[in-house]
Chain A
Amino acid sequence: EAGVTQFPSHSVIEKGQTVTLRCDPISGHDNLYWYRRVMGKEIKFLLHFVKESKQDESGMPNNRFLAERTGGTYSTLKVQPAELEDSGVYFCASSPVGGMSSYNEQFFGPGTRLTVL
């Protein structure tokens, strides 16, 4: 079974440009999460999809960030325009349908390292 995949693994852009990150969750996982670690700080939650719906977007830092999950499969996270403080590692995670304790584990992808110059 394939794990969570993210693309690209590394992106270097200039301030003001646009970048789109992609996440493919584990097949059949309805829950998809985005997290990020910036400036070597803590890993922070960004948002949570259940299928194609945004369940919780309380962690999105501002309106320069737009996440989508069309069709409830893969998700994209667009940063437009990128700022210096957006540099960091962006992680995607997925989990199966909730309701049972054994299904609460979140499976993380390898991350996308974003560098804004």
Chain B
Amino acid sequence: GIQVEQSPPDLILQEGANSTLRCNFSDSVNNLQWFHQNPWGQLINLFYIPSGTKQNGRLSATTVATERYSLLYISSSQTTDSGVYFCAAQRTYSSASKIIFGSGTRLSIRP
């Protein structure tokens, strides 16, 4: 099956800093999603981005499908950005099937 790896595993930043989270995947994908698990355990959909670039406020994501990686950018971090960020991928030619999650990046924003 497809392998999904995230880096770094942990990231501690001061409020206001920018951050880049990386997701590498081992095979071609037709689904790549980013999620934020907040301190209450809820999983928040951030981006559906199998290719290209999307932006939503202070967050943006870029997936370079040919090189098998995706990046999540967080600008001007706030304490509410803390939590675990997951990427998940679904292998091409496996439509409507399970997505495989990476192990996550734990982000801590200090005031």
Task: Using CB atoms and an 8 Å cutoff, list the residues of chain A in contact with chain B.
Answer: 31, 33, 35, 37, 41-45, 48, 50, 55-56, 59, 89, 91, 95, 97-101, 103-111, 113
Given the complex of chains A and B, what is the CA–CA distance between A29 and B56 in angstroms? 25
Asked whether, in the complex, the Cβ of A43 is within 8 Å of the Cβ of B41, the reply is no
Given the complex of chains A and B, what is the CA–CA distance between A115 and B90 in angstroms? 30
How close is B95's CB to chain A, nearest CB, in angstroms?
4
Contact of B43 among A42, A97, A98, A110 (CB under 8 A): A110
Asked whether, in the complex, the Cβ of B42 is within 8 Å of the Cβ of A110, the reply is yes
Asked whether, in the complex, the Cβ of A95 is within 8 Å of the Cβ of B43, the reply is no
Question: Residues of B contacting A44 with CB < 8 Å?
Answer: 101
Q: A42-B103, A111-B41, A113-B41 are in contact. Are A105 and B98 (CB under 8 A)?
A: no
Asked whether, in the complex, the Cβ of A50 is within 8 Å of the Cβ of B96, the reply is yes
Question: Residues of A contacting B86 with CB < 8 Å?
Answer: 43
Task: Using CB atoms and an 8 Å cutoff, list the residues of chain B in contact with chain A.
Answer: 30-31, 33, 35, 37, 41-43, 45, 48, 50, 86, 88, 90, 95-104
Q: A91-B43, A101-B50, A111-B43 are in contact. Are A45 and B31 (CB under 8 A)?
A: no
Asked whether, in the complex, the Cβ of B100 is within 8 Å of the Cβ of A45, the reply is yes
Given the complex of chains A and B, what is the CA–CA distance between A97 and B96 in angstroms? 7
Asked whether, in the complex, the Cβ of B41 is within 8 Å of the Cβ of A89, the reply is yes
Question: Residues of A contacting B101 with CB < 8 Å?
Answer: 35, 42-44
Question: Residues of B contacting A59 with CB < 8 Å?
Answer: 98
Q: A31-B96, A59-B98 are in contact. Are A106 and B42 (CB under 8 A)?
A: no
Question: Residues of A contacting B33 with CB < 8 Å?
Answer: 105-106
